[in-house]
Structure 1
């Protein structure tokens, strides 16, 4: 196998892991992960020292991808910070985001795994930095980013947990309304 092919395989594994971990959690088996990537199970250990090493890279990739997507969305509203924040809130608290965790926010998707497995120090560092960065991007002149993040994250997690019931969409709607009203009132 050429060096270029090895790099392409590694990239494919990390991208696949990033999606699967956000969708199903980090408990996904190496065999299932490699099958999803279209590669053999034995090839995993040619690329990674351990599953924990892959979790580190996949978390880093997920946060980089999320930040890039968020930055691109904000650039659509250059010079309009209120419109940019509203667009972010609307996208985050949407049915589409609720229903597609594999492509969504790693803060929401990986929270349970990070809480349950404190042993992976690099992934926890990446996660904590990602949470902090996201909260900073959510801050406005009038609103604390941590509070906004907690509201958005809690609403998304509850909406995912109640998916299939009318209450799920009510949760998303209520959180959007609260964040919008808070932004308008400046509190």
Structure 2
């Protein structure tokens, strides 16, 4: 097999694992399912990763890098808020923000996985810092951290009640979006 084909397979495995882990968590997705959904055999897995834990770590990084690229390509904070705090994003964790989809699961993972998540978090913080108007880098970082925590928390809460109390889920998203737009002049 060529290096190009191997790299293509690895990208496919990472993209598939990233989607499945965001949708259902690390424990509820098996290697066989990931490989089948990637169009590859289970045996091919070990040519790319030593273990499911290693794949999960790489998939977390992949999802965070993908999300950061998307946020960096978003021209303004209003657009970012209006895309992030929506029922569509809430209802589709597989294609959404890795930070909110994986936060609870990552807390139960290894220190290595938590470090990967933290590195991913730094990318999102940096993407938000460029929208902050505070005069110092420290103040911009503080505001970006608070904003990010609010976004992730609001989305997690809305997901937590979406099936049982859909009106409350929508209210969480709307109230958070409107409050943040007012606070950040977006």
Contact 1:35 1:41 survives alignment (8 Å) = yes
Deviation at 1:2, TM superposition (A): 3.3
Alpha-carbon displacement from aligned partner over 1:65-103 (angstroms, at most 9, x marks no partner): 1111112222xxxxxxxxx11111111101111111111
Aligned to 1:5: 5
Aligned to 2:147: 148
Aligned to 1:37: 38
Aligned to 1:55: 56
Secondary structure at 2:107's aligned position in 1?
helix
Secondary structure at 1:90's aligned position in 2?
helix
User: With structure 1 as the length reference, what TM-score do the two structures score?
Assistant: 0.85
The 1-side partners of 2:160 and 2:13 are apart by 28
Aligned to 1:170: 171
Residues paired across the two proteins, number? 174
Deviation at 1:56, TM superposition (A): 2.1
Aligned to 1:89: 81
The 1-side partners of 2:123 and 2:3 are apart by 34
The 2-side partners of 1:97 and 1:15 are apart by 18
Aligned to 1:138: 128
The 2-side partners of 1:65 and 1:114 are apart by 18
The 2-side partners of 1:120 and 1:43 are apart by 27
Tell me the C-alpha RMSD between the 2 structures: 1.8
* Deviation larger for 136-145 or 168-177: 136-145
Aligned to 2:19: 19
The 2-side partners of 1:177 and 1:47 are apart by 45
The 2-side partners of 1:103 and 1:22 are apart by 8
The 1-side partners of 2:119 and 2:2 are apart by 35
The 2-side partners of 1:136 and 1:60 are apart by 16
Unaligned runs of 5+ in 2: 135-139
User: With structure 2 as the length reference, what TM-score do the two structures score?
Assistant: 0.86
Secondary structure at 1:180's aligned position in 2?
helix
The 1-side partners of 2:157 and 2:36 are apart by 31
Contact 2:65 2:123 survives alignment (8 Å) = no
User: Which residue of the other structure, out of 108, 117, 125, is the alignment partner of 1:116?
Assistant: 108
